Amino acid sequence: MDIKGKVHEIYPVVTVSEKFKKRELVIEYAENPSYPELVKFEAVQDKVNLFDTIKVGDQVELFFNLRGRAWVDKMGKTSYFNTLVVWRINPITSGGSSPAPEFAAPADISPAPEDDDLPF
């Protein structure tokens, strides 16, 4: 899955245990600009470094996996949790500035000269 949005907040790396670390990121997702959503994602293990090159205000494209799990409490009640786990991030713009548009050189579509001596 992927999503585009503006970086709203970047959290520091949290070491949960000797073998597990994670880092969270919140983006503002504005499918409907009148009602933007703040969505939290996380990167785990070696992917926590993905957020090192971005900053608050950057426009990014995130690629992530949707994970879900159940948890049963002491009373036997089951709760469900979802996690959006980032595996790649591409910066679109930096700090709200727009990238320069890229244009290809126009193709020459002018007709061939009449005095050519092509064999066909």
Q: What CATH topology corresponds to 2-93?
A: OB fold (Dihydrolipoamide Acetyltransferase, E2P) (2.40.50)
Can you point out the beta strands (E) in 13-95? 14-17, 20-29, 37-44, 59-72, 78-93
Three-class SS state of 30: coil
Q: Where are the domains of the chain?
A: 2-93
- The pTM of the full predicted model, rounded to 2 decimals, is 0.71
pLDDT in tens, the chain (120 residues): 999 999 999 999 999 999 999 999 999 998 888 999 999 999 999 999 999 999 999 999 999 999 999 999 999 999 999 999 999 999 997 654 444 444 455 555 555 556 555 555
Q: What is the pLDDT of residue 114?
A: 60
Burial of 96 (0-12, 13-18, 19+ CB in 10 A): exposed
In this prediction, residue 48 carries a pLDDT of: 94
Residue 31 pLDDT: 87
